[in-house]
């Protein structure tokens, strides 16, 4: 996978940059210590180090081979400058030895992590290591100095090459793990979607729950406490079944089913709505044919809208009886909900305030249906709901 | 999430500086707000947690330990070289033996740890480190031996580097700095009258301090990369969703509301809550009913891209989506994958700068009469701020090409990419 390689290379070149910059800054610090090389050498090496720092920074961004080569050339030049300008009588001072060591073992060897992948780059790695060791050996031996810089050089290169190589192995490993988590999570997302579908699909259940919650929101006023308790118990039971993963089939009222079905008979489900409102003190009289087949989603919306209309009658009309007339033709099923209550002035009360737009109109529009509202003060209210067959 | 927030600076080709600043501030505020409210779905958290072993950087930590080991080897070699110069080499020898034993033990323990090293164990390791430093500095004497430097004490730095994968970076940094200060105090007192000793002392201190510090920095970069990758694969699962679906967060929310309703109704049924309800309880019932209504309708109009963005810690704050018609849902899985990858590459490939990507979908083109088999076309407009054209990775362009043919241009510092998208007509399916 190309992205894994990209990420791996990015980690490697960032490591190269942070190592190299740290070592170069340390080398600059050595130049400031008294007892170091003479002023001209200090200035020259300082300038070289600043250039090396720039290359190391850019290397951290691009990882290109040309910056690697720049660092190697500049670094080795700095080593040779330091090593060839010592005082003949003293040999290399401690400062100079440490400076050579940190240049070779840190500032130059920082290129190792970006050279561990690919045969061509590995070749460059060995070449760079050879050149650096050779120049360190040359300056220390010609000055008769200790083997400290050489030992440090070898250790630094070994540490950074091995560390880089190891990192190059770590990245694909961990990314494969990440990909495995992605696969597991894919299954989780699928499960979550099914769960949401199941819950949203249980529309009739939620309709009755919503109706009961609305009653409770009005503190249960106007309904006998026993009936409300009974209704709450039924609904809590249904919700528990839903939570436990079943598609609940209400056993007590026994008339409607929540099993998914492509088409359902309207008549059998109307009875449950009637019972529900009966318990809350609104007598509903059905007229006309109940034997109409409707697609499941249309039926759900239709029943929800009908239930909301009846709930409005129960709460606002001031009467305890409503009539529902169902009729159908070739294309449409129509329900007319009529009450003889106090009615209201349509222009005075906005339909939004009745929750009409949200709960009835929007739900019907989802399935291609319409709702119309007729009322005037003192002469009751009539709602006509229409859905396509 | 942010429908309509994507401004179209194209209409104002040369915005004056103050409005540009206001625009930038608006983007920053949106980013902060989304970052603050970000929450992962519980399912995602559980999946990730169950698989976290191995996501730690343990394998990398072992490499860093080995790498630091070479510096310790150098110091050991130096100890051997200066053996004859010690007034009494035995304390330093003891320090090295303690260090070797402790290193082996710590390596074994670190590789057996499931997650993070317990604090008492961490403190024990630090204490052992201090013992080694004490022994070594005792053997090194009061600086009366010329050309001897702390060795085992400096190697404690490499020893601490073993812990980078099992403790927080700042703890290790703190421990290392203390260690460096102790060695500095120990070796610089000797260097007071001889500046020549100063430089080897600096060398020793840097050998001690660098392995753990570099290790911490590498592990931090590595962890950040793993986090970003994880974030991407977690939202990549959205690409196989249907054209619109309920997101994981919404799904959990619906389950929660159902549970709350169940509890409330159960309380009423069993009489735990008295009837008629108290005002507080009836208000709670009203709120629940409203939430339930909203959640039963909500979610079905949101596309996979919306879910991907809200569930992503990295993409969410940085991307503005304007897709009123839900056209993103019509893209094929290949196009979705490529689009997500392109956005991700644009955002992740920056150091420090925080780029913003605005996506505007549509409108759906009118192509006159529709014949069977004809593709539907619509534009996707991408406006990228904070990423210069030359810094865009070739892979990003490749991904964008998979989504559709595109034209890119730079206008007032923003990169505009207009993608012409073709999809199968859903009506033909």
Whether A283 maps to a domain, the answer reads yes
Whether A226 maps to a domain, the answer reads no
Q: What is the distance in angstroms between the Cα of A167 and the nearest Cα belonging to chain B? A: 6
The confidence band for B332, taking pLDDT boundaries of 50, 70 and 90, is confident
Provide the H-helix boundaries in B113-197: 119-140, 152-161, 169-188
- Interface probe for B, chosen from A174, A187, A197, A235 (most Cβ of B below 10 Å), is A174
In the prediction, which pLDDT does B6 show? 39
Range of the domain at A288: 258-388
**DSSP string for residues in B221-259:** HHHHHHHHHHHHHHHHGGGGS-SS---HHHHHHHHHHHH
Whether A194 maps to a domain, the answer reads no
In the prediction, which pLDDT does A127 show? 92
Q: Is the predicted pLDDT of residue A14 greater than 80, yes or no? A: yes
In the prediction, which pLDDT does B56 show? 62
Domain termination residue (choose one: A178, A211, A229):
A178
In the prediction, which pLDDT does B51 show? 61
Are A11 and A119 in the same domain?
yes
Q: Is the predicted pLDDT of residue B192 greater than 70, yes or no? A: no
Q: Is the predicted pLDDT of residue A269 greater than 70, yes or no? A: no
Q: Is the predicted pLDDT of residue B139 greater than 80, yes or no? A: no
Chain A touched by B395 (CB under 8 Å): yes
Q: Are the Cβ atoms of B51 and A228 closer than 8 angstroms?
A: no
Give the least confident one: A208-212, B192-196, B318-322.
B192-196
Provide CB contacts within 8 A for B134, sequence distance 6+. none
Whether A250 maps to a domain, the answer reads no
Nearest by CB to A14, from B221, B266, B286: name it.
B221
Provide CB contacts within 8 A for A139, sequence distance 6+. A79, A80, A82, A83, A84, A92, A100, A145
The token duo for A330 is 């070739």
Q: What is the DSSP letter of A33?
A: S
How far, in Å, are A256, A309, A377, A382, B280 from residue A372 at the CA level? 27, 11, 17, 8, 35
Give the least confident one: A57-61, A235-239, B332-336.
A235-239
Contacting residues of B for A95, CB less than 8 Å apart: 196, 199
Q: Is the predicted pLDDT of residue B366 greater than 70, yes or no? A: no
Number of C-alpha atoms within 13 angstroms, CB side, residue B221?
23
- ipTM value for the complex: 0.74
In the prediction, which pLDDT does B151 show? 83
Higher pLDDT, A67 or B353: A67
Q: What is the pLDDT of residues B201-240, one digit of tens each?
A: 778 888 888 889 988 988 888 888 888 888 888 888 888 7
Are A171 and A305 in the same domain?
no
Are A8 and A109 in the same domain?
yes
Q: What is the distance in angstroms between the Cα of B23 and the nearest Cα belonging to chain A? A: 30
Phi–psi pair at A378, nearest 5 degrees? 90, -10
- Interface probe for B, chosen from A87, A232, A240 (most Cβ of B below 10 Å), is A232
* Cα radius of gyration (chain A): 42
Q: What is the DSSP letter of B166?
A: T
Nearest by CB to A11, from B74, B221, B271: name it.
B221
Nearest by CB to A7, from B229, B233, B265: name it.
B229
Nearest by CB to B67, from A162, A195, A200: name it.
A162
**DSSP string for residues in A301-317:** HHHHHHHHHHHHIIIII
Buried/exposed B338-366: b ≥16 CB within 10 Å, e otherwise: bbbbbbbbbbbbeeeeebbbbbbbbeeee
Q: For residue A357, give the CATH number of its domain.
A: 3.30.565.10
In the prediction, which pLDDT does A256 show? 37
Q: Are the Cβ atoms of A167 and B218 closer than 8 angstroms?
A: yes
Q: Are the Cβ atoms of A15 and B202 closer than 8 angstroms?
A: no
Which of A7-21, B138-152, B415-429 has maximum average pLDDT? A7-21
Which of A156-160, A212-216, B116-120, B310-314 has maximum average pLDDT? A156-160
Q: Are A114 and A59 in contact (CB under 8 A)?
A: yes
**DSSP string for residues in A324-376:** EEEEE-SSEEEEEEEE-S----TTTS-GGGGTHIIIIIHHHHHTT-EEEEEE-
Nearest by CB to B289, from A166, A196, A217: name it.
A217
The confidence band for A165, taking pLDDT boundaries of 50, 70 and 90, is very high
Chain A, residues 356-375, CB within 8 A of chain B, namely 358-359, 362
Whether A138 maps to a domain, the answer reads yes
Provide CB contacts within 8 A for B119, sequence distance 6+. none
Q: How far apart are CA B418 and CA B420, in angstroms?
A: 7
Whether A210 maps to a domain, the answer reads no
Residue of B nearest to A233 (CA): B269
Q: Is the predicted pLDDT of residue B326 greater than 70, yes or no? A: yes
Q: What is the mean pLDDT of residues B348-358?
A: 75
Higher pLDDT, B390 or A260: B390
Strand partners, A131: none
Domain termination residue (choose one: A133, A149, A178):
A178
How many structural domains compose chain A? 2
Strands B356-361, A321-328: pairing kind? unpaired
In the prediction, which pLDDT does A53 show? 92
Q: Are the Cβ atoms of B269 and A167 closer than 8 angstroms?
A: no
Mean pLDDT of the residues in chain A: 80
Cβ of A33: how many Cβ atoms within 10 Å? Answer: 17
The confidence band for A7, taking pLDDT boundaries of 50, 70 and 90, is confident
Higher pLDDT, A189 or A133: A133
Are A173 and A53 in the same domain?
yes
Q: How far apart are CA B260 and CA B174, in angstroms?
A: 48
Are A158 and A34 in the same domain?
yes
Domain termination residue (choose one: A139, A159, A178):
A178
User: Among A29, A147, A23, which Cα is nearest to A75's?
Assistant: A23
The confidence band for B427, taking pLDDT boundaries of 50, 70 and 90, is low
Chain A touched by B268 (CB under 8 Å): yes
Q: Is the predicted pLDDT of residue B12 greater than 50, yes or no? A: no
In the prediction, which pLDDT does A83 show? 81
Q: Are A299 and A256 in contact (CB under 8 A)?
A: no
Q: What is the distance in angstroms between the Cα of B43 and the nearest Cα belonging to chain A? A: 7
Whether A307 maps to a domain, the answer reads yes
Q: Is the predicted pLDDT of residue B327 greater than 60, yes or no? A: yes
Mean pLDDT of the residues in chain B: 79
Whether A218 maps to a domain, the answer reads no
Q: Is the pTM of this model over 0.80?
A: no
In the prediction, which pLDDT does A134 show? 92
Are A316 and A173 in the same domain?
no
In the prediction, which pLDDT does B241 show? 75
């Amino acid at each position: 996978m190309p992205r894994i390689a990209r990420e791996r290379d990015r980690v490697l070149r960032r490591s190269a940059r942070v190592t190299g910059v740290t070592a170069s800054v340390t080398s600059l610090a050595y130049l400031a210590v008294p007892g170091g090389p003479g002023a001209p050498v200090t200035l020259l090496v300082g300038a070289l180090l600043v250039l090396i720092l720039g290359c190391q920074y850019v290397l951290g961004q691009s990882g290109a081979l040309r910056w690697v080569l720049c660092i190697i050339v500049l670094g080795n030049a700095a080593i040779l400058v330091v090593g060839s300008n010592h005082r003949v009588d003293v040999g290399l001072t401690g400062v100079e030895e440490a400076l050579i060591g940190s240049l070779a073992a840190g500032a130059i060897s920082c290129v190792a992590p970006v050279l561990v992948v690919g045969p061509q780059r590995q070749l460059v790695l060995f070449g760079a290591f050879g050149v650096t060791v050779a120049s360190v050996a040359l300056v220390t031996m010609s000055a008769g100095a200790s083997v400290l810089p050489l030992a440090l050089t070898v250790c630094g290169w070994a540490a950074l090459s091995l560390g880089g190589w190891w990192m190059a192995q770590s990245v694909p490993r961990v990314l494969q793990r990440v990909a495995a988590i992605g696969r597991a999570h894919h299954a989780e997302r699928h499960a979550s979607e099914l769960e949401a579908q199941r819950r949203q699909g249980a529309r009739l259940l939620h309709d009755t729950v919503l109706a009961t919650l609305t009653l409770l929101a009005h503190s249960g006023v106007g309904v006998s406490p026993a009936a409300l308790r009974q209704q709450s118990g039924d609904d809590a039971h249904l919700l528990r079944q839903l939570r436990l993963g079943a598609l609940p089939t209400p056993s007590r009222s026994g008339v409607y089913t929540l099993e998914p079905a492509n088409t359902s008979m309207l008549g059998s489900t109307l009875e449950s709505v009637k019972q529900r409102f009966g318990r809350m003190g609104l007598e509903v009289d059905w007229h006309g044919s109940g034997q109409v087949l409707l697609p499941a989603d249309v039926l759900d919306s239709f029943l929800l809208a009908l239930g909301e209309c009846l709930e409005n009658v129960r709460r606002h009309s001031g009467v305890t009886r409503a009539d529902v007339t169902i009729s159908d033709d070739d294309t449409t099923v129509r329900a007319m909900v009529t009450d003889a209550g106090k009615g209201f002035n349509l222009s005075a009360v906005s339909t939004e305030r009745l929750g009409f737009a949200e709960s009835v109109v929007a739900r019907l529009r989802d399935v291609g249906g319409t709702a119309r509202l007729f009322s005037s003060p003192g002469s009751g209210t009539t709602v006509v709901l229409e859905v396509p067959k | 999430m942010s429908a309509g927030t994507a401004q179209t600076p194209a209409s104002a080709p040369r915005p004056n500086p103050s409005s540009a600043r206001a625009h930038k501030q608006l983007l920053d505020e949106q980013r902060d707000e989304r970052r603050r409210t970000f929450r992962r779905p519980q399912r995602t958290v559980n999946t990730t947690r169950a698989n976290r072993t191995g996501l730690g950087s343990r394998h990398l930590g072992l490499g860093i330990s080995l790498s630091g080991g070479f510096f310790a080897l150098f110091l050991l070699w130096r100890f051997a070289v200066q053996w004859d110069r010690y007034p009494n080499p035995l304390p330093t020898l003891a320090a090295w033996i303690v260090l070797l034993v402790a290193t082996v033990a710590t390596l074994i323990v670190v590789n057996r740890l499931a997650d993070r090293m317990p604090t008492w164990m961490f403190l024990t390791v630090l204490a052992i480190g201090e013992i080694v430093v004490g022994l070594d500095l005792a053997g090194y004497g009061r600086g009366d031996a010329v050309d001897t430097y702390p060795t085992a004490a400096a190697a404690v730095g490499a020893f601490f580097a073993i812990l980078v994968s099992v403790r927080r970076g700042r703890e290790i940094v703190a421990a290392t700095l203390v260690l460096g200060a102790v060695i500095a105090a120990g070796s610089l007192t000797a260097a007071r009258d001889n500046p020549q000793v100063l430089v080897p002392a600096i060398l020793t201190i840097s050998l001690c301090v660098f392995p753990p510090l570099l290790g911490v920095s590498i592990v931090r970069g590595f962890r950040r990369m793993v986090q970003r990758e994880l974030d991407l694969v977690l939202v990549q699962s959205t690409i196989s969703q249907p054209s619109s679906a309920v997101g994981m967060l919404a799904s959990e929310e619906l389950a929660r509301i159902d549970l709350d309703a169940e509890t409330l109704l159960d309380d009423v049924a069993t009489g735990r809550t008295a009837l008629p309800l108290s005002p507080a309880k009836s208000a709670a019932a009203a709120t629940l009913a409203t939430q339930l209504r909203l959640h039963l309708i909500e979610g079905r109009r949101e596309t996979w891209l919306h879910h991907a963005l809200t569930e992503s810690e990295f993409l969410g704050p940085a991307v503005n989506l304007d897709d009123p018609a839900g056209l993103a849902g019509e893209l094929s899985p290949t196009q979705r994958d490529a689009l997500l990858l392109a956005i991700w590459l644009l955002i992740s490939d920056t150091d420090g700068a925080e780029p913003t990507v605005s996506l505007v979908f549509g409108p759906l083109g009118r192509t006159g009469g529709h014949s069977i088999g004809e593709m539907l076309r619509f534009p996707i407009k991408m406006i990228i701020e904070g990423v210069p054209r030359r810094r865009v990775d070739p892979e990003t362009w490749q991904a964008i090409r998979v989504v559709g043919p595109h034209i890119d241009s730079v206008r007032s510092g923003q990169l505009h990419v207009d993608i012409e998208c073709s999809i199968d007509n859903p009506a033909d399916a």
